[in-house]
Amino acid sequence: MTEEPVPVTTTRVVSPYNPANVLTAVRIVLVPVFLALVIATSLQGTGPRIVSCLVFCVASGTDFLDGWIARRWSMVTSFGKVADPIADKALTGTALVLLAAYDRVWWWVVIVILVREWGVTALRFWVIRYGIIPASRGGKLKTVLQIAAIAWYLWPVPHPADLVGPWLMGAALLVTVVTGGDYVVQALRLRREARGAR
């Protein structure tokens, strides 16, 4: 079920130097580390692939942790609102492009996912003065599926278990597209309701 857009509310002043933002910064720093690891190894060799996968998973884990900390201890900041989605898209986008570059995933799949991801981010900034579009359950499922699919391709999964990868990526692609449409509907509704209230 589509969640209603959440109106912008006044929050207490929070220092940008808090654990949630530190974790977001760590994720940003890990993106070039992950990129360098994959390029240096060309996704060849069991050990290097495991290390690359672990770095990706650690970076992805900070996404769930920083959001939880920010909500649990009211550490939401302007920096976090901007940097968090950018860090997320940078990490998954880098991973997907690398997988396509090394012929693990079709380019058209990567392009569709990236257009949706950056499009939704642009939508959020477009309507941010009217309200915040929260992450829906479908959006959270999308994130989990994308991370799982990418990790499956990075890890040296033996045959025939490696055949699960395309199914995971297919599920991630489907949920990504469907939830993207849902976010467009929410953004348009939020903008329309805000204009109507004037």
CB 148 within 8 A of CB 68: no
Residue 195: both structure tokens together: 């204009």
Length of the chain: 198
pTM: 0.84
Structure-token pair, residue 116: 């949706």
Beta strands in the chain (DSSP E): 6-7, 131-132
3-state secondary structure of 6: strand
Task: Give the torsion through C-alpha atoms of 185, 80, 122, 56, to 10 deg.
Answer: -100
Cα distances from 160 to residues 148, 157, 165, 193, in angstroms, run 17, 8, 10, 51
Give me the torsion for CA of 57, 32, 149, 154, rounded to 10°. Answer: -80
Helix, coil or strand: residue 7:
strand
Q: Which pair of structure tokens corresponds to residue 34?
A: 């992950």
Residue 31: CB atoms within 10 A of its CB come to 19
Full DSSP string of 68-124: HHHHHTT---HHHHHHHHHHHHHHHHHHHHHHHHTTSS-HHHHHHHHHHHHHHHHHH
122-178: per-residue pLDDT in tens? 887 787 777 777 667 888 899 999 999 999 999 999 989 999 999 999 999 999 999
Please report which confidence band the pLDDT of residue 108 belongs to, taking 50, 70 and 90 as the band edges. very high
pLDDT band at 10 (very low <50, low <70, confident <90, very high): very low
- Give yes or no for residue 58 having a pLDDT over 50: yes
Rounded distance between C-alpha atoms, residue 114 and residue 39, angstroms: 20
Residues 71-77, mean pLDDT to the nearest whole number: 78
Residue 130 · residue 191 · CB < 8 Å: yes
Q: Residue type for 38, please?
A: V
